[in-house]
Amino acid sequence: MTNVIRIEVPLNRDKVSFLKAGDNVLLNGTVYTGSAAAQHKIVETLARGDRFEFDLCDQIIYFVGPSPTKPGHVIGSAGPKANGWIEEYTPKLLAQGLTGIIGKGSCSQSIVDTFKEHRCVFFGAMGGEGALIAKQIVASEVIAYPELGHDAIHRIQIIDFPVVVILDSQGNNFYESAKSKYRRI
């Protein structure tokens, strides 16, 4: 097994600078959730000049819409959502100081360039394992947009939350470098 890096959140630029595409990471601390609908509302709030519920600087947003919470559980299944809306909202969120996003799926070159420009990272979480990932979430609280139901923004506390660095702050893309290792010459 490869080395695993443990990181305490918040994720400042010093911590980001040491991460490389392909690194296995265990995140610990506070992370915020945000579906497409929630990110849309964040961007609208910021565009109006209104105060937002938390400072985005040095924070991580997890692209997730948790399933309903069963009695006795902190959160429902919490697997990553595909990042199909990343083109629209991510540049605006990174410009506010956000340093990391957790999701799944590939990103266009313009998004890779945006992560590099803002010196941020995109973490990939394992799709299809939402129930297992949810066990690493020890607390969850709705902090914004409760009208969105499960897509509201939650502040979650995570312990040893497993992710892989997909895009690092230098613009390296793990999906591309991993594919190149297996291409036939």
The DSSP element (H or E) to which 102 belongs, if any, is: strand 100-103
Decide if 59 is inside a domain: yes
Decide if 2 is inside a domain: no
Decide if 22 is inside a domain: yes
The predicted pLDDT at position 85 comes to: 65
Task: List the beta bridge partners of residue 173.
Answer: 167
CATH code of the domain in which 151 resides: 3.20.130.10
Whole-angstrom Cα distance, residue 7 to residue 100?
A: 12
Number of helices (H), then strands (E), in the chain: 6, 7
The predicted pLDDT at position 82 comes to: 75
Residues in Cβ contact with 61 at an 8 Å cutoff, skipping those fewer than 6 apart: 31, 32, 33, 34, 39, 93, 98, 100, 101, 102
Q: DSSP letters along 159-171, please?
A: EEEEEEEEE-TT-
As for how many domains the chain has, the answer is 1
Is the CA virtual torsion 174, 175, 176, 180 positive or negative? positive
> Which domain range does residue 81 map to?
7-182
Decide if 1 is inside a domain: no
CB atoms inside a 10 Å sphere around CB 94: 20
Q: pTM higher than 0.85 for the full model?
A: yes
The predicted pLDDT at position 80 comes to: 87
The predicted pLDDT at position 1 comes to: 46
Whole-angstrom Cα distance, residue 122 to residue 55?
A: 19
DSSP type of residue 89: H
Amino acid, res. 129: E
Q: 10-residue block means of pLDDT along the chain (185 residues)?
A: 87 96 97 89 90 90 83 87 76 93 89 95 89 93 91 94 96 88 66
